[in-house]
Chain A
Amino acid sequence: MTIGYFSTTASFRIISMISNLNNAAPKMAELGAGSMLLGDPAFNYQEHELNERLKRLYPAVNEEETPLPRSWSPKDKYSYIGLSQNNLRVHYKGHGKNHKDAASVRATHPIPAACGIYYFEVKIVSKGRDGYMGIGLSAQGVNMNRLPGWDKHSYGYHGDDGHSFCSSGTGQPYGPTFTTGDVIGCCVNLINNTCFYTKNGISLGVAFTDLPPNLYPTVGLQTPGEIVDANFGQQPFVFDIEDYMSEWRAKIHGMIARFPIGERLGEWQAVLQNMVSTYLVHHGYCATATAFARATETLIQEDQTSIKNRQRIQKLVLAGRVGEAIEATQQLYPGLLEHNSNLLFMLKCRQFVEMVNGTDSEVRCFSVRSPKSQDSYPGSPSLSPRHGATNPHLHSAGADSPTCSNGVTPPNKNKSHNKYPGVSSASSSSSSSPSSVNYSESNSTDSTKSQPHSGTSNQETRCVARQGFLLNLTWVLCSDSEMEIEAEHYTNGVAENSSTRIMNGTYKHQEILQAEDDSCASRQLCGGNQAATERMIQFGRELQGLNEQLCREYGKNATHKKMLQDAFSLLAYSDPWNCPVGQQLDPMQRENICSALNSAILESQNLPKQPPLMLAVGQATECVQLMARVRSGSCSFARVDSFLH
């Protein structure tokens, strides 16, 4: 399979980059939050607007690698230039006798090629004495004692005569003159390396062609009283730049859509069918895969039972019944977990979390409720890929990296947080599970009759149990703190799996979750059952033991330590679902471990642990990133996510 051939190192690179990209978002948000402390609400609002607008205009730019210009640079200017208003306002403070007194300032950063099309505007606040103002672009290091356009790698449009200056002391007639009150825009097209200006929202036509890369927005002033304000996206632009961008996006998309494949049509079709087929098999969509194979007359490498087994195990994990999943794995794939102790440890940790959640069968069996969860599994192949709408849950998880392939930019954090609990509580009210509903009503007068475990005594016991466990936990943490932090290759495995998980979302899964939300909604540790709590504490000790054993066998493992810490920390809070580490309880977190297990099983069967489709998506994403690095501006409009529907 040609597409499938993709070296592991390459895929690692993709993933690390993907996580880079995603890390950028929260960091920027932090920046915004930091400035909030300064106490200027107008400024904060502007900063927020700026971030939003830049993100919308230049989605392909990775600001970790190539930051966007956001203001004029106080360091990269001539002394006759004064800056104010958050380094957006420029005024002239020299003598202004002749052209030797000209002065310029550059923006903080050069224009990244990944912008595709870049735009900024300058408003002429005052034309000063003579209105010798130049607006344009220059490369780093160009003399600042000059107006933009006079020197090599410097380009400008001047207000006094309306001429354009292309690295030359003599200008060419270009546009109208400009003066106080006018808004001049400068647009750099990094696809064809041209530049045009706008005046009060009207495009004046191409001014420069064959522009070099890495130019900085630049303004130059020459006589006293000249003041200009820059808009790098802080405010809406006068010119409709997004409309211009849409034209180029359509152009590039048209080019991609019309890319000639000529004679190789059949070849392409076979590859595509194979990709679809392997994807279906990978995720265990058994019936669909079989139907697809029949229709397209292709072969499935893996046999039916194997697919079904994997499907079953995955369902168990996704339903939070990790203990059963471990059993099933050990039974169906003997030796797999024994040889992969890291995976086993991960699974056990998850099992512990699910015990807290009250979903794992080991604690569930104590509950009065019927084994409803078994029924709630959809009989038909489930786990179809989830996109768009449910994505926010993934983002709220923070560390994962779905953006690049799921086609959604990380949404507002608050929003995604609020969304899920709303859904779950709504579904819980209509739930039919007797135990949880009754328990949640324990304060009302006639609640206790069908619920033997409810009541204050039970709560007390739980409190005691928890305290005991907390002591235990403290001990764990203390002993752990002596451990050295040690990096291990395992981190990569986790990250990798997290990216696989992207396509592993399921809406069927959500049905299961909603059906079980009853237990979540009542928010009782281990479903509020004392025996279950004891079992959980017991299990916690075993897990601790397993960790120690692993440490003895393989040496200390920081990842394991962190996992264990996080899991145990849940018990430190009265409401584990609403605590700093409560995120672990989110059923979405099961997807990670689920795909890790799936991949491990596949690998043990000598099958690819990632579906080729995912590799292809990763590869395409990588290519687009690469385009940005080699300064091909069209990457901005050839985003992979705009082709994933």
Chain B
Amino acid sequence: MACLLEAPLRISVLSEVTATSRHYVDRLFHPDPQKVLQGVIDMKNAVIGNNKQKANLIVLGAVPRLLYLLQQGLSSSELKTEVLGSELRTEVLGSELRTEVLGSELRTEGAVVLRTEVLGSELRTEGVVVLGSELRTECVVLLGSELRTEGAVVLRTECVVVLGSLAMGTENNIKSLVDCHIIPALLQGLVCPDLIFIEACLRCLRTVFISPVTPVQLLYTDPTVIPHLMSLLSRSPRTQDYITQIFSHCCKTPEHQTVLFNHGAIQNIAPMLISLSYKVRMQALKCFSVLAYENTQVSMTLVNVLVDGDLLSQVFVRMLQRDLPIEMQLTAAKCLTYMCRAGAIRTDDRCIVLKTLPCLVRMCSKERLLEERVEGAETLAYLMEPDVELQRIASVTDHLVAMLADYFKYPSSVSAITDIKRLDHDLKHAHELRQAAFKLYASLGSNDEDIRKKITETENMMDRIVSGLSESSIKVRLAAVRCLHSLSRSVQQLRTSFHDHAVWKPLMKLLQNAPDEVLVMASSTLCNLLLEFSPSKEPILESGVVELLCSLTQSDSPALRVNGIWALMNMAFQADQKVKGEIVRALGTEQLFRLLSDPDTNVLMKTLGLLRNLLSTRPHIDQIMSSHGKQIMQAVTLILEGEHSIEVKEQTLCILANIADGNTAKELIMTNDDILQKIKYYMGHSNAKLQLAATFCISNLIWNEEGSEADAMTGCQERQDKLRELGFVDILHKLTQALDPNLCERAKTAMQHYLA
């Protein structure tokens, strides 16, 4: 036990301070149980509100002793009872007592020996282990030993109260307590029938578990704990309060949610939502918000739960009422938000549109506390993220867009001068506020062009994003780049404000050395900035972005690979020869072909897209094909032969069509019978898109350009002849009868060129 080992060392340092504290600990070792009890009570009074005293007592080893007393008391009252005569013993033994009586001392199987001294001097008897609670109670009654039980309960309870008090101190206190294995000891105590004692244990457990230093897993190690806690929920409002608090703080992963769900958390906690006690209602609500978060199973169950004849969603809506405490409104809104995101409530449901959303907007108002504003904004962002209609409604509700601008004004200039405490408070929340605002702006502007315009027109918005991109807090940087990404979906903004504020500069800087999550967002934004019409494209190209993007394509993360190749694809669109050459050079054919066999279809699609963009305009086609023709043809063959989606094959056929458009590149196809057979196959494919793409390719091959030179003409004639030999004319002829008008048209044009 860590705290015991450390003790002697610290004592030497704190010898003076601990002189008085020592006295308290010593009394816990007194032989007279009454004195021990008094000692515990005195200790309780000494530690209340005194962190120093708490630390001292922990250092002096009070915790193990208290735990010892606690467990002693536990084993005695709970498991044992006196045996006052052979008659009684027989009776007791007869009723399924697994005990062994060895002379005057009583030994039990795998259980603790009773030390009667602890329980009061009158009771000098032996203990018997009683298994099964009914039986135990029966024995207690039989033997008239209520007195003894009471004495034991008082001592135990006092011990737990002192432990709970110690836990209320610093985080170090909690660490020490956890190291002393307080949690299993207290959980064991919950088996006791005495309510006061159970409540004390739960209160202490609550204090320990809500501390961030306590590993939550400790709640789940013993599989019997959760069901037992569920059964204790009905005992009293206090047990409800403490247990739900423990659940709320210990439910951190989907696995935890599932464990609690499987043990009937919803059915057990739902009735607490209409408890008379506000505390209980509130804790139950919090518990539900934690259970429902990103959990479809829980959310789907919740919508069908009835509480006193009302649907749970109606109960939550009632909790949004404006005259209720903010905490309750906010948490109820969270529950409804999570249920909505999990698909349990429709986004156009009145309870979302007219109740939850307005409530969350209110939480963002200046009247609310900074913490509430952060939570409100984050929850709102989450609620409307996938739904453009909710985004539109939120954008006009209570001047939300303007209201959010206020999030950036902390610490305000006023607070700095007038009030140090407030400055401190503001500073602490400034980052949180900014990132929450960015998140909400990102969510608001993710779909609607008018909202994006409204956001960018908000006072100093672009400047704020730009400075947010280079803030020290990673959370703010991430949120800022999310916001920028959201706004970058606007053609108009890309052309105007993005260029005016040179957002590409901080963005590029952000890309240099950032964690993956930031990188994904930043590169995605970069993709948009590299679109052909974006004025930022030029300066970005000049800043040597190609290398960076190529390195992204080698990332382990599929999202980064997609973004990298996507950006390159955008960059190559209608680019000049120099840029294309640079891309090919930097990426390297090897990497290009590796990407063509990427397991992620998105990556494959974008790589094909890049190829297609590279292979556009005749001179470029011929040049690239002359240097990389062989590999490209190989890759194309491979993809056409492989198991790929229609889209991938279509894209590949389009590449072939581009190749066929080249002057010299044509020959690479014409000389490749295998490819020609494949084109022929796809012309007869059942999918019209593939037919069209293949026909396009053939059409390019037989194209007879007017006014072109004689040698080209001859080349054209040769190709046409060869293709006729291969039976393409017949196919084209058939396709002129095709149902698809595009296909039909394309085939007709091709036939005309034949005739010419």
| Cα(A276)–Cα(B102), bound, Å | 72
| Cα(A447)–Cα(B322), bound, Å | 65
Q: Which residues of the partner chain B approach A89 to less than 8 Å between Cβ atoms?
A: none
* Contacts of B539-591 to chain A: CB distance below 8 A: none
Does chain A have a CB within 8 A of B396? yes
Which of the residues B353, B355, B358, B396 comes within 8 Å of A199, measured between beta carbons? Answer: B396
A239 to chain B, nearest CB (A): 8
Chain A positions 184 through 215: 1 when the CB is less than 8 Å from some CB of chain B, otherwise 0: 00000000000010010111111000000000
Query: Does B398 lie within 8 Å of A203, measured CB to CB?
Result: yes
What is the predominant secondary structure among interface residues of chain A facing chain B? Answer: mixed
B409 to chain A, nearest CB (A): 18
Q: Which residues of the partner chain A approach B355 to less than 8 Å between Cβ atoms?
A: 240
B361 nearest CB neighbor, chain A only: A203
Does chain A have a CB within 8 A of B354? yes
| Cα(A437)–Cα(B321), bound, Å | 55
| Cα(A247)–Cα(B403), bound, Å | 20
Interface core residue of B321, B323, B353 (most chain A CB under 10 Å) = B323
Query: Does B323 lie within 8 Å of A203, measured CB to CB?
Result: no
Query: Does A243 lie within 8 Å of B321, measured CB to CB?
Result: yes
B278 to chain A, nearest CB (A): 14
Query: Does A247 lie within 8 Å of B322, measured CB to CB?
Result: yes
B403 nearest CB neighbor, chain A only: A205
Does chain B have a CB within 8 A of A250? yes
Which of the residues B323, B354, B399 comes within 8 Å of A247, measured between beta carbons? Answer: B323
Q: Which residues of the partner chain A approach B322 to less than 8 Å between Cβ atoms?
A: 243-244, 246-247, 250
Knowing A201-B354, A202-B354, say if A175 contacts B396 (CB, 8 Å): yes
Query: Does B397 lie within 8 Å of A205, measured CB to CB?
Result: yes
| Cα(A246)–Cα(B320), bound, Å | 12
Chain B positions 391 through 403: 1 when the CB is less than 8 Å from some CB of chain A, otherwise 0: 0010011110001
| Cα(A243)–Cα(B323), bound, Å | 8
| Cα(A206)–Cα(B323), bound, Å | 20
Chain B positions 345 through 371: 1 when the CB is less than 8 Å from some CB of chain A, otherwise 0: 000000001110010000000000000
Query: Does B398 lie within 8 Å of A204, measured CB to CB?
Result: yes
Query: Does A202 lie within 8 Å of B396, measured CB to CB?
Result: yes
Which of the residues B321, B323, B397 comes within 8 Å of A202, measured between beta carbons? Answer: B397
| Cα(A244)–Cα(B322), bound, Å | 7
Chain A positions 203 through 234: 1 when the CB is less than 8 Å from some CB of chain B, otherwise 0: 11110000000000000000000000000000
Which of the residues A199, A204, A249 comes within 8 Å of B323, measured between beta carbons? Answer: A249
| Cα(A376)–Cα(B6), bound, Å | 80
A339 to chain B, nearest CB (A): 55
| Cα(A246)–Cα(B397), bound, Å | 19
B396 nearest CB neighbor, chain A only: A176
| Cα(A174)–Cα(B703), bound, Å | 60
B259 to chain A, nearest CB (A): 37
Q: Which residues of the partner chain B approach A204 to less than 8 Å between Cβ atoms?
A: 396-399
Chain B positions 317 through 330: 1 when the CB is less than 8 Å from some CB of chain A, otherwise 0: 00001110000000
| Cα(A196)–Cα(B365), bound, Å | 15
The contact size tier of chain A is 10 to 19
A206 to chain B, nearest CB (A): 8
B392 to chain A, nearest CB (A): 8
What is the predominant secondary structure among interface residues of chain B facing chain A? Answer: helix
Query: Does A202 lie within 8 Å of B399, measured CB to CB?
Result: no
Query: Does A203 lie within 8 Å of B321, measured CB to CB?
Result: no
* Contacts of B393-419 to chain A: CB distance below 8 A: 393, 396-399, 403
Which of the residues B323, B353, B396, B403 comes within 8 Å of A246, measured between beta carbons? Answer: B323
| Cα(A205)–Cα(B361), bound, Å | 11
Q: Which residues of the partner chain A approach B396 to less than 8 Å between Cβ atoms?
A: 175-176, 199, 202, 204
Query: Does A250 lie within 8 Å of B323, measured CB to CB?
Result: yes
Which of the residues B353, B393, B398 comes within 8 Å of A205, measured between beta carbons? Answer: B398
B458 to chain A, nearest CB (A): 12
B306 to chain A, nearest CB (A): 24
Query: Does B354 lie within 8 Å of A203, measured CB to CB?
Result: no
Q: Which residues of the partner chain B approach A196 to less than 8 Å between Cβ atoms?
A: 398
Q: Which residues of the partner chain B approach A175 to less than 8 Å between Cβ atoms?
A: 396
A252 to chain B, nearest CB (A): 11
| Cα(A202)–Cα(B393), bound, Å | 8
* Contacts of A463-495 to chain B: CB distance below 8 A: none
Q: Which residues of the partner chain B approach A250 to less than 8 Å between Cβ atoms?
A: 322-323
A238 nearest CB neighbor, chain B only: B354
Q: Which residues of the partner chain A approach B358 to less than 8 Å between Cβ atoms?
A: 202-203
Q: Which residues of the partner chain B approach A240 to less than 8 Å between Cβ atoms?
A: 354-355
Chain B positions 377 through 400: 1 when the CB is less than 8 Å from some CB of chain A, otherwise 0: 000000000000000010011110
Query: Does A205 lie within 8 Å of B399, measured CB to CB?
Result: yes
A243 to chain B, nearest CB (A): 5
| Cα(A244)–Cα(B359), bound, Å | 11
| Cα(A240)–Cα(B359), bound, Å | 12
A249 nearest CB neighbor, chain B only: B323
Q: Which residues of the partner chain B approach A249 to less than 8 Å between Cβ atoms?
A: 323
Knowing A201-B354, A202-B358, A205-B399, say if A246 contacts B321 (CB, 8 Å): yes
| Cα(A323)–Cα(B322), bound, Å | 57
* Contacts of B220-276 to chain A: CB distance below 8 A: none
| Cα(A247)–Cα(B323), bound, Å | 4
| Cα(A542)–Cα(B398), bound, Å | 75
B365 nearest CB neighbor, chain A only: A205
A175 nearest CB neighbor, chain B only: B396
Q: Which residues of the partner chain A approach B353 to less than 8 Å between Cβ atoms?
A: 201-202
Q: Which residues of the partner chain B approach A202 to less than 8 Å between Cβ atoms?
A: 353-354, 358, 393, 396-397
| Cα(A247)–Cα(B354), bound, Å | 16
Q: Which residues of the partner chain B approach A203 to less than 8 Å between Cβ atoms?
A: 358, 397-398
| Cα(A196)–Cα(B362), bound, Å | 14
Q: Which residues of the partner chain B approach A201 to less than 8 Å between Cβ atoms?
A: 353-354
* Contacts of B299-339 to chain A: CB distance below 8 A: 321-323
A199 to chain B, nearest CB (A): 7
Q: Which residues of the partner chain A approach B354 to less than 8 Å between Cβ atoms?
A: 201-202, 240
| Cα(A202)–Cα(B358), bound, Å | 7
A199 nearest CB neighbor, chain B only: B396
| Cα(A206)–Cα(B402), bound, Å | 12
Q: Which residues of the partner chain A approach B323 to less than 8 Å between Cβ atoms?
A: 246-247, 249-250
B395 nearest CB neighbor, chain A only: A176
| Cα(A204)–Cα(B361), bound, Å | 11
A257 to chain B, nearest CB (A): 13
| Cα(A203)–Cα(B362), bound, Å | 10
Q: Which residues of the partner chain B approach A199 to less than 8 Å between Cβ atoms?
A: 396
Q: Which residues of the partner chain B approach A246 to less than 8 Å between Cβ atoms?
A: 321-323
| Cα(A201)–Cα(B355), bound, Å | 10
| Cα(A202)–Cα(B321), bound, Å | 15
| Cα(A246)–Cα(B355), bound, Å | 15
Q: Which residues of the partner chain A approach B397 to less than 8 Å between Cβ atoms?
A: 202-205
B361 to chain A, nearest CB (A): 8
| Cα(A249)–Cα(B322), bound, Å | 10
A203 nearest CB neighbor, chain B only: B398
Q: Which residues of the partner chain B approach A205 to less than 8 Å between Cβ atoms?
A: 397-399, 403
A639 to chain B, nearest CB (A): 15
| Cα(A250)–Cα(B403), bound, Å | 24
| Cα(A199)–Cα(B322), bound, Å | 19
Interface core residue of A205, A240, A247, A250 (most chain B CB under 10 Å) = A205
Would you mind naming 28 contact pairs between A and B with Cβ atoms under 8 Å apart?
Answer: A176-B396, A196-B398, A201-B353, A201-B354, A202-B354, A202-B393, A202-B396, A202-B397, A203-B358, A203-B397, A203-B398, A204-B396, A204-B398, A205-B397, A205-B398, A205-B399, A205-B403, A240-B354, A240-B355, A243-B321, A243-B322, A246-B321, A246-B322, A246-B323, A247-B322, A247-B323, A249-B323, A250-B323
Interface residues of A (CB under 8 A from B): 175-176, 196, 199, 201-206, 240, 243-244, 246-247, 249-250
Apart from A204-B399, A240-B355, A250-B322, 10 more pairs, CB < 8 Å: A176-B396, A199-B396, A202-B396, A203-B397, A204-B397, A204-B398, A205-B397, A206-B399, A244-B322, A247-B323
The 10 A-B residue pairs with the shortest CB-CB distance, nearest first, are A247-B322, A250-B323, A205-B399, A205-B398, A246-B323, A176-B396, A201-B354, A243-B322, A203-B398, A202-B397
